[in-house]
Copies of this chain bind each other. A is one copy, B any other.
Amino acid sequence: MAQDKIVFVYITFPNSEEAQKVGRILLEKRLCGCVNLFTNINSMYWWEGKIEVSQEAVLIVKTRESLYPEVEKEVLKNHSYSCPCIAKIEVSEVTPCFYRWLLQETGVEI
């Protein structure tokens, strides 16, 4: 079985409360090792013909590549946007001890 890569999943939320709620769900379901929450992010995008500026929060979810489909499904189920940005970024190398820790935290027997 090819080694399961580590990925960072970058997700934007309307506020930190919702980001923490979803982060907690992912942890409870053992779908990630940990999350980092960045708050007070200013986002800009087109909305109804005008460029909108709004405050968001960014959650970085650290998990295994094979768990990504379940992470995406769980986030979509609990997110208030109809179409949130859920973006998978590959980690090409990580500290060996952190790799083992993350496998154990997500239910892999080592």
A contact set with B: CB distance below 8 Å: 6-8, 10, 12, 16, 20, 23-24, 27-28, 33-46, 51, 53, 56, 58, 62, 68, 72, 76, 82-95, 97-98, 101, 105
Contacts and interface: CB of A to CB of B under 8 A. Distances in A.
A85 B30 CA distance: 18
A20 B55 CA distance: 13
A8 B93 contact: no
B44 A8 contact: no
A76 B35 CA distance: 21
Task: Give the 7 A-B residue pairs with the shortest CB-CB distance, closest first.
Answer: A34-B45, A83-B97, A88-B93, A37-B42, A86-B95, A87-B91, A87-B94
Nearest to A79: B95
